[in-house]
Amino acid sequence: MTRSRADLLQGTLEMLILKTLAVGEPLHGWGVSLRIEHLSSDVLTINQGSLYPALHRLEHKGWIRSEWGTSENNRRAKFYRLTALGRTHLAEERAQWDLFAGAVQQILQAT
Amino acid sequence: MEILADLLRALRLRLRGVVDPDSAARDIAEELRFHVDMEAARLQRAGLAEDEARRLARIHFGGFDRYTEQTQDARGTRLVEDTMQDIKYALRMLAKNPLFTSVAVLTLALGIGANAAIYTVVDAVLLEPLPFDDPTELVALYTENEAEGQTRYMVSPMDFDDWRTQNNTFASMAAYWPTTGTVTEDDGNPTRVQVIYTTEDFFDVVGASPLTGRTFTPEEGPGSNAVAILAHGFWQRRFGGDPSIVGQTVTLDGAPTQVIGIMAAAQTFPLDADLWINMTWPMQIQSRFARWMSSVGRLRNADALPAARNDLAALAGRIAEENPASNAGWTTRVERLHDEMVGDTKTALWVLLAATGLVLLIACANVANLLLSRSEVRSREIAVRTAFGASRTRLVRQLLTESLILSAAGAAVGLALAWVGVRGLVAIAPVAVPREDAIAIDGTVLAVVLGVSILTGLLFGLAPIARLVGSGVHDAIRDGARSTGSATGHRLQNVFVVGQLALALMLVTGAGLLVRSFSNLRAVDTGFTPSGVVTMQLDLAPSVAANDTAVIGFYAQYRDRLAALPGVESVGDASSLPLDADHDYVNPFRIDGVDVNPDQELRAAHRSVSPGFFETMRTPVLQGRTLTPDDRLGSAGVAVVNEAFVKRFFPDGSVVGATFRNVASRFGPLGAINIQDAEVVGVVKDLKYQGLRLDSQPAIYFSGLQSSIRRRTLTVRTSAAPSSIVPLARRELEALSGQVALTNIQTMEDVVSGARARDRFSTLLLSLFGLVALSLAAIGVYGVLAYSVAQRTKEVGIRMALGADQSVVRGMILKDGARLVGVGLTVGILAALALSGVLATQLYEVDPRDPGVLAAVAGVLLTVGLLASFIPAWRATRVHPVVAMRGE
């Protein structure tokens, strides 16, 4: 029970990160979390304990890539950008999510 | 294409994690710091103070450990990075507690080092097969005569010839005769050598091939010329390892002898051989009475030992039927050659190995206890780490890494100890250790040590792990929970201490028994006074003394010369030296003039001693007189007998005045007794010949002036320093002949101490191990009680605040200690009793269940245990109530 929920969340987080990076310029981890909060109108708060492992996992899969750059306040920071591989996966994930969300929606509306 | 590049980049990333985990970790740390800083900045903007913002940002961030780990996890390089990190962490922890670390490492080093050293010797002596072809087929052949107390005796050439030709179970059989000879150089410088006369097939039977040259051919048997094969050591010593010696001649006992080959060092059998000469005399001309050859056989297959025993026994029975006079009562004994070469050392070594095993167990228990005690201190650290998300497997790995690093350090120090220890062991080892110089810590030993150290690491590492990981996280974090959380750990510690005490008791009991046995051996009456006597051996080759008269004359002259030296009080010589004899020549005798105990077969050791021998040895004369210079060739034959002789054959009466008939006999090439009849003129006290443990056998001493034994040991009693007499003795010998060498120079005290060497060896080592075990057990008791006192500080504080007397508190702790010690001793005594049989063969006149020793040992352990309890108990009474109640 616990496990499946964690999996679901993890998968979702990865998709959200990919989507966030797909929208615009490269972002650092902090930026990713801000952007997700912002885009969800502060409904979703990213747990940093999950964010960085997810970022590294994605990078390790080759879906995103990172490089060190300078942040808006002139600090060294690591910026992530989506790769072509990641773009393909985002599309797949998205399709699956739509399918899943649609199914859930259907069930909830059944009564 | 772009996708391929993405994949390659991902792969590179993984590689970097492995190749340079540090930089990967630095990257993560920096990224993380950036995030926290940004979060803090945001909170600050929202109106928080900088400190508070920072703190909150940190809290928002969540489990630091888990974060790092999961991030690294995601990188797929986890295992390598973790292990490196574990090792670093462990080293840091160990470095932070130098006292704990050094105690643990030293304890383990003692345990592992002792094991490695003893195992090295055991491996070389007991486990390595003999370096011959199919060594398990090799057996040693002996004759035995129960009625005469002769075991592992030699065989007569005629009997051997019958064995060799009529058996059904042996592939082959060879005989050999170890004796001494003198090799002289052109300049006349003599060297005494150990010569082994062998049947020509000796090396084929043993399965040894020469380093260079050849061994004996089938033609080099009876009737051929004597040729020589050199042993490696002698070849190196004497000829500097020059291979061109093969084909040249050496002068052995005055006769030029051609060298035909050189044997490899490992294949030196018997161990002390310098050169081998083929037996050139026929077997059948010798008497069946003259048992003087040793024998070795090769079985048709290694499993045929029982069949071979029956076969040879049946053969011996047949020979005895046909030749009752010479062979009645004589049977055979067949033993594996390896077992025989290892001999008594076997049990001693196994006992020592078992003892070191116990020491190692105790060491393990001690380190486990140390770790357990420390795990209490660390339980909060561990709990915090668990709470922050470090997984259990991760913690277990971390703790195991620490244990293994400890045991590895212990093993490293232990190996160093062992390296020194092995030299020491070989140096004081009481037996000729086969291939002594080859004994070294080799691959096998290293592998065993490695295995042992891993095993010990796991053994003592698992206890605290079970304790730590098993306990509830929340309990451990909570302040007051220390005492409840430690219940399991405490019980485990108690079990370890009880085990330690029990093991220590067993070891110390063993040591106690050996010490008792050794002191019994020291008290054994040897029948002589060794102090002040120097002994030296010489052997007269026919080239020096052509006939019997010349031999007798040579020794008489030499004794006179020695007696005239300053400081010399008396001089004697003997065919065999007490406590230094390989074999006595036990022969039948006939005696007239008194009634002999009819139950006994009339056989006794025939020895030859010169006038002055008993005086030099200060052997008490019980009846009659000893030998005088007048008891020489041409006068009436005389003999002296020992106490054992009288006891066995004349339990009721006196033997003085009776006459031995037809005593003239020739002991092969050794020499002869040159008189027909010998009147018993005296009885002397028993001198110990065959070791201190055995009862003396009946013996007849003939006059050295009436027998022409060529090899004798001179005994010189001197008031001067023993070392000062030797060069003088050499000078006197050179004046008589340049071809004779003085060898085996030793004081009689050395001889006696040599006879006790094996016992001293075992006693010394086992006492050492017992002492180590005792100290480790004491440390164990102390550690557990000290820890329990620390645990109960608050309780003690409350008790004392409520007015408990100091003595009550002290009694409380002492009672804990006494209970531990009591249980440990009980278990130990039971185990010691159960295992008492192991030591039985090593003991001399001590019951392995000797209640005195057990009681004394238990007393010692009790005292040590209570002393170890006293310090913590005393410390408990020093607890200040206020400090104690404050908690920490």
Summarised one tens digit per residue, pLDDT across range A85-95 is 888 888 988 88
Dihedral, CA atoms, B18, B22, B23, B26, nearest 10 degrees?
Answer: 130
Count Cβ–Cβ pairs < 8 Å, chain A vs chain B: 83
Q: Do A86 and B62 touch (CB under 8 A)?
A: no
- Given strand A27-28, what is the order of strands in its sheet? A27-28, A76-82, A64-70
> How many whole angstroms separate alpha carbon B508 and alpha carbon B860?
9
- Are the CB atoms for B712 and B555 separated by under 8 Å? yes
Same domain, yes or no: B426 and B520 = no
Best to test chain B binding among A34, A52, A87, A89 (most B CBs inside 10 Å): A52
Same domain, yes or no: B157 and B304: yes
Q: Are strands B621-624 and B665-666 parallel, antiparallel or unpaired?
A: unpaired
Nearest-Cα distance to chain A for B53, in Å, is 16
Q: What is the DSSP string of A26-70?
A: -EEHHHHHHHHHHHTTTS----HHHHHHHHHHHHHHTSEEEEEEE
* Overall number of domains in chain B: 5
Partner-chain contact B27 A84, CB within 8 Å: no
pLDDT lower than 70: segments of chain B: 1, 17-19, 21-22, 60-79, 185-189, 285-286, 344, 376-377, 380, 387-390, 428-439, 467-489, 581-584, 668-669, 879-888
Q: Span A28-48, mean pLDDT?
A: 81
- What pLDDT sits at residue B473? 47
Please report, as a single letter, which amino acid is at residue B166. Answer: Q
Residues B176 and B309 in one domain: yes
List the single best residue of A35, A48, A61, A65 to mutate versus B (max B Cβ within 10 A): A48
pLDDT of residue A4: 35
Largest CA distance in chain B: 131
Domain boundary among B714, B736, B758: B736
- The closest alpha carbon to B353, from B765, B686, B781, B1, belongs to B765
Which of B458, B485, B512 terminates a domain? The answer is B485
B37, B38, B65, B78: best to mutate for the A interface, most A CBs within 10 A: B38
Please give the ipTM for the structure prediction: 0.81
Q: Say whether both B119 and B184 belong to one domain.
A: no
B611 Cβ contact partners less than 8 Å away, ≥ 6 residues apart? B572, B626, B627, B628, B629, B631, B703, B704, B705
How far is C-alpha B62 from the geometric centre of its chain's CA atoms?
61
Contacts of B278 (CB under 8 A, 6+ apart): B197, B198, B199, B200, B216, B220, B221, B224, B226, B227
**Last residue of some domain: B302, B328, B354?**
B328
B179/B321 same-domain check: yes
Cα separation values, B475 from A10, B487, B492, B809, Å: 31, 12, 19, 28
Same domain, residue pair B107 and B221:
no
CA distance A71 to chain B (A): 10
Tell whether B691 and B828 lie within a shared domain: no
Mark whether B566 and B641 lie in a shared domain: yes
Domains and CATH numbers, chain A: 2-109 (1.10.10.10)
* A contact test, residue of B1, B3, B6, B81 with most A CBs within 10 A: B6
- Smallest Cα distance from A20 to chain B, Å: 17
Q: What is the pLDDT of residue B173?
A: 95
Is residue B671 assigned to a domain?
A: yes
Same structural domain, B551 and B517: no
Q: Within a domain: residue B142?
A: no
pLDDT at B189: 64
Find tokens 């067949």 and name the residue: B334
| B764 phi/psi in degrees, rounded to 5 | -60, -50
Which distant-in-sequence residues (6+ apart) come within 8 Å of B413 by Cβ? Answer: B105, B106, B108, B109, B113
Cα–Cα distance between A45 and A35 in angstroms, integer? Answer: 10
Q: Are residues B648 and B774 in the same domain?
A: no
Residues near A31 by Cβ (< 8 Å), separated by ≥ 6?
A: none
The pLDDT value recorded for residue B56 is: 79
Report chain B residues whose CB lies below 8 A from the CB of A65.
Answer: 6, 9
State pTM to two decimals: 0.64
Which pLDDT tens digit goes with each residue over B232-285?
888 888 888 888 899 999 888 878 899 999 998 888 888 788 999 999 888 776
In a domain, B600, yes or no: yes
Q: Reduce the DSSP state of residue A90 to 3 states and report it.
A: helix
Give the whole-angstrom CA distance, residue B514 versus residue B848.
9
Interface contact A83-B30, CB threshold 8 A = no
**β-strand B227-230 against B255-263: which pairing, if any?**
parallel
CB A50 within 8 A of CB A43: no
Q: At A97, list the tokens.
A: 């999510």
List residues of A whose CB lies inside 8 A of any B CB: 28-30, 47-49, 52-54, 56-57, 59-63, 65, 71, 73, 75-78, 83-86, 88
- Which stretch, A1-10, A43-52, B486-495, B752-761, has highest mean pLDDT? B752-761
User: Are B601 and B725 part of one and the same domain?
Assistant: yes
Q: Is B600 helix (H, G, I), strand (E, B) or coil?
A: coil
Whole-angstrom Cα distance, residue B38 to residue B53?
10
Across the interface, which of A47, A56, A65 has its CB nearest the CB of B9? A65
pLDDT of residue B150: 80
Q: Is B556 a domain residue?
A: yes
* Contact status of B721 with chain A (Cβ, < 8 Å): no
Tokens coding B455: 């095993």
* Residue B305 CB burial class (10 angstroms; 0-12, 13-18, ≥19): middle
The reply to whether B335 falls in a domain is no
Please report whether residue B675 resides in a domain: yes
- Judging contacts by C-beta atoms under 8 Å, the chain A residues touching residue B3 are 83-85, 88
Judged by CB atoms closer than 8 Å, whether chains meet at A78 and B75 is answered as no
Q: Flag whether B745 is in a domain.
A: no
CB contact under 8 A, A60 and B37: no
Boundaries of domain holding B797: 490-524+750-888
pLDDT for B29: 77
Chain mean pLDDT for chain B: 83
Q: What whole-number distance in Å separates Cα of residue B760 and Cα of residue B515?
A: 9
Output the pLDDT for position B23: 74
Same domain, B578 and B708: yes
Q: Is residue B433 part of a domain?
A: yes
Average pLDDT value for chain A: 80
Question: Residue B558, SS3?
Answer: helix
